[in-house]
Every structure is written in structure tokens, then in C-alpha cells.
Amino acid sequence: MNKTLVNWLALVWLAFFVSGCSQSAQIISLSGNTMGTTYHIKVVQSEQLPEASLLQAEIDLALEKVNDQMSTYRPDSELSRFNSMSHEETISVSKDTAFVIKEGLHLYEVTDGALDITLGPLVNLWGFGPDKRPTEVPSEDIIAKAKAKTGIEYLHLVGNKLSKTNPDLYVDLSSIAKGFGVDVVAGILDKYKVSGYLVEIGGELSVYGNKIDGAPWRVAIEQPDVDDREIQQVIAPGDNAIATSGDYRNYYEEDGRQFSHLIDPRDGYPIDHRLASVTVLHKQSMVADGYATAMMVLGTEKSLALAEQENLAIMLIEKQDDGFEVFYSDAFKPFVEQ
């Protein structure tokens, strides 16, 4: 699912501010563009790290590789070549692409179909993909025709061999590929055995270790209010990735109705419930990314049940008539700053 989220850049810099980071010689600060968005990295200097320009070149090269593998906007990427082929063919993909697709298949199963990496035709139909916004709400028949082009059951992965039994099947990994990119960058920094870092790509974060003064990193979770930028909660996430999904900034209105960019794969319609924001902590940013999207589809009760079942650390913010109500899973509570 395309997950063009809230404007997270302000939140990320707020997270840096709360963490007390400064532009000192002991902090390397890197930023750039990737995956149709931006990245920002703060890493505590160490003797094993190469100089900043070489480190950034290594990171940029690794992220370019991810784009060449999984971008749906690059016609020669592995994923684009798969999407354009007929169902009689099989394509060999890289280990990384196979790994991300395998996780997408797993998340589909564990979320009862709330995360579906074949959702592209429905996202495009509702105007949140490359196609233009519809001039009127799609009919049930049009939605059914788009839905017929989706379906995990038509996607087959054996080792690194990828095939499909529906020629119209279109795989979109944007719900988890950004998270995978964060994991890739974190892996590079782990290789140099640094004492602390914060990595952000398009709002997905991963933190490790401590700041220069030995204090833990802290991250501010934004209140899901389209009109204001206020902190809902500050957390100390430990050595975890943090992914947040919400529907309160990326939507459009038609005939007095509000349509979210988050589409429920099970019925083909934009979500319509009170859950406004989901934050997930996990060791892997890719996994946190996928769960955050899926839980926005599932809603509050089912997300809390899934979190307890899978021992996931999640924070949900639900819209109320007079403000917001916050829900935490048991696994999330230790990370909340009092």
C-alpha cells in the first residue's frame, strides 16, 4: 500500500530537539534524498567510522540499490519488471527483494489480510497512486473490477523465483520498503560499532545506543491533529525502530465525505473509523512499518488484540468528539516517558 504519510520532517527534528542533539564535532549529521522522500541520520562519532563524505557515499549507494530493486517508479527495477510481465513467466529477484516480499506475505497472514502488497490497483483507483484522483466515488462494480486484479493468492515466491497467476497482479512494497531502507542504513552503522545513532527515512526511524552524554534517545510522537503540531507523547524507545501511520493529513474530500489514503484490502474502500494514528516499536523497521499500516486498517480493538497476540509494542491515538484518547499495549508501556 502507498503510504504517503503525514509531514514527518517536523516531528523528526522535534525528536532530535527532545533528544538534546547538537551540531557538535562528536555528532555526524547526514541528509539526502531517497525513495521519493528524504533521509536524516545522526550518528555518534567513533574511530571506526570513515569520514562523513565516505559514509554518506556508502549509505547512498546502498539506498540506490534498494530503489533499483523495489521501486515502482523505476521501469527497470526488479519489481517493475515483475509487474509488467505476463503470468506465464518467472523472474529471478535479488535476495533483498525476496526477503521483503516474504515479509509482506507473512504480514498478510498475521494481520488477517489488512496488509496486502498487491493492493496497487485499488490505491490507484482511489487516486492515491500514479493515477489522477477520481472525479466521482467509484461504483461497486468498478471497485470489484480493481479488486479482481489484487490477491496474495496469485503471488508465488519460491526461493528467489517470483511468479504470478494473475496477469494483472501489481506488487507495491511501499508499505514496508522504506522500513527496509532504514534497516539497511542501521546495518551499515552497526558494522562500524558506533555507540549511538538515529536513522530516519520518510518518517520511519531506528534508534540505537545513547547520545554523547550517555542519555538515551527520546522521540516525540505527534498528536494527530491536522491543524496543529503538538506533542502527544514522548517515548524512550531503546534500541528499536519506530513506525507511525496515520490518515489525518493525506486525504481528500468529495461531496462532503472524507476519503483516506489508507485502503482496506478486504473490501476495497478507504478506511472509515476513529483510529487516527498508530505507532509501533520493533527491532526491524520493515516490520514496524508494515504493522503500523495494517493496524490503521484494522482499527483500535483488533489492533490491540493483535498486539497482545504477537507481543507488539504499540500506541494508538483515537479521535473522540472532544479530543483524543490514547491506548497502549502492555509491551509499549515501559517506553512511555512519565
Residue range 143-149: average pLDDT?
Answer: 93
Residue range 86-105: average pLDDT?
Answer: 95
Q: Distance between terminal CA atoms of the chain?
A: 35
Judge if pTM exceeds 0.85: yes
Whole-angstrom Cα distance, residue 29 to residue 206?
15
Which band of pLDDT confidence, cut at 50, 70 and 90, is reported for residue 51? very high
In the predicted model, is pLDDT for residue 4 greater than 50? no
In the predicted model, is pLDDT for residue 78 greater than 70? yes
In the predicted model, is pLDDT for residue 77 greater than 50? yes
Average pLDDT over all residues of the chain:
86
Which band of pLDDT confidence, cut at 50, 70 and 90, is reported for residue 291? very high
Q: Which range among 5-14, 51-60, 122-131, 223-232 shows the weakest confidence by mean pLDDT?
A: 5-14
pLDDT of residue 131: 57
In the predicted model, is pLDDT for residue 95 greater than 60? yes
pLDDT of residue 228: 65
- Report pLDDT digits (tens) over 230-241: 788 899 999 999
Supply φ then ψ for residue 231, to 5 degrees: -80, 125
SS3 44: strand
Residue range 273-277: average pLDDT?
Answer: 88
**Which one, of 205, 142, 128, 206, lies nearest residue 172 by Cα?**
128
Whole-angstrom Cα distance, residue 225 to residue 233?
14
Residue with grid cell 567510522, as numbered in its chain: 49
pLDDT of residue 130: 56
pLDDT of residue 197: 97
pLDDT of residue 164: 95
Neighbour count for residue 26 (Cβ, 10 Å): 12
% pLDDT > 90, the chain: 66
